[in-house]
Copies of this chain bind each other. A is one copy, B any other.
Amino acid sequence: MAADDVLPSWRTGATRDAVEGFLEAASTVPAERRVAVFDNDGTLWCEKPRYVQEDFLLHELSTAAKARPELAQRPEYRALLHGDQAALAELGLQRVAAALIELSAGLTPEEFAHRVTHFMKTGRHPDYNVPYGQIVYQPMLELMDALRAKGFTIGVVTGGGTEFVRAVAPNLYGVPPELVVGTLIEYAYQLRDGAPVLLRTAKVHGQLNEGKPKVSHIQAQLGRRPIFAAGNSAGDREMLEYTADAGPASLALLINHDDHDREYAYQSRSVTLDETESIVDVARREGWAVASMRNDWTTVIGPGSH
């Protein structure tokens, strides 16, 4: 590779050309419009065999159940602790998710972040057998750096928990907390032992950050329309559409998980419009850039985090 290659893990080809063309065109865009957003799970780091946040929540549950064995009597927790898929399916995702959210109720944001940080230090990815901080896609870190070099403000827009991703984003991606847009838990402001604190409730604030809400939440929190967006799932569709239409200098990039050897091979199907069409097919039809993990990336998992 050339000494000035800012995307060393991207093979030459149509996708790399599209990314480089966009980086070039972005120089002509007013600085305040240089906003880029990245989905997190499956776009910046591996989301299989489970979302990392799922592993975290299972770890939290397991820790809590050791200290308070009576927790294992609750049907949702019992099913989770035994990996009882039939029971989980019967209980339904919503009820199981609500039970997991309850586990963190009453914590301050700092206490919650501390738990995430501890988990990231001690846990390992079940298949790669490396710390979770090392399952970040090296080509995407290079792309973030290339955008930063062009003066972009970079946000992470995740369907996952805002505070979970905030606890990892500065270290993994160099993205500060205010630029993480996700699914929020409501806080209650109150006095605890005479000190004013915010405490997590068990209630999701507003809507899950997937699909159309991703677009509304980007505006609500970041206040600007992005001209670059990267995603990998049906939940990123509207964010990619909105970005692709932001003007002549704009790019929507879809990550295609087609590398069974180095990662996982799967495709996300749209739940919003046509369930028979995969998001990769939508991307091709819309003319978005599609990054094939197998063909466009020389490296998938890199040497280390940001």
Contact = CB atoms under 8 A, between A and B. Distances in A.
Nearest to A212: B189
Given A189-B215, A196-B215, 14 more contacts: A32-B170, A109-B219, A109-B225, A153-B178, A162-B220, A166-B223, A176-B223, A178-B223, A186-B216, A187-B220, A189-B216, A195-B245, A198-B242, A221-B221
A189 B225 contact: no
Interface string A206-243: 10000010011001111111000000000000100110
4 A-B pairs with least C-beta separation: A177-B223, A189-B212, A187-B216, A178-B222
A162 B221 CA distance: 10
Given A196-B238, A196-B245, A224 B189 contact: no
Interface residues on A, range: 35 or more
A177 B215 CA distance: 16
B110 A177 contact: no
A19 interface: no
A184 interface: yes
Nearest to A217: B187
B162 A223 contact: yes
A141 interface: no
Nearest to A238: B189
Nearest to A201: B216
Interface in A137-170: 153, 155, 162-163, 166, 170
Contacts of A216: 186-189, 198
B187 A223 contact: no
A284 interface: no
A215 B198 CA distance: 8
Contacts of A188: 216
| A110, A176, A178, A216, most chain B CB atoms within 10 A | A178
A290 interface: no
Interface in A247-305: none
Interface in A190-212: 195-198, 205-206, 212
28 contacts: A32-B170, A32-B176, A109-B219, A109-B225, A153-B176, A153-B178, A166-B223, A177-B222, A177-B223, A177-B224, A178-B178, A178-B221, A187-B220, A188-B216, A189-B212, A189-B215, A189-B216, A189-B238, A196-B238, A196-B241, A198-B215, A198-B216, A198-B219, A198-B225, A205-B206, A205-B220, A206-B206, A221-B221
A7 interface: no
A179 interface: yes
A180 interface: yes
Contacts of A245: 195-196
Nearest to A215: B189
Contacts of A212: 189
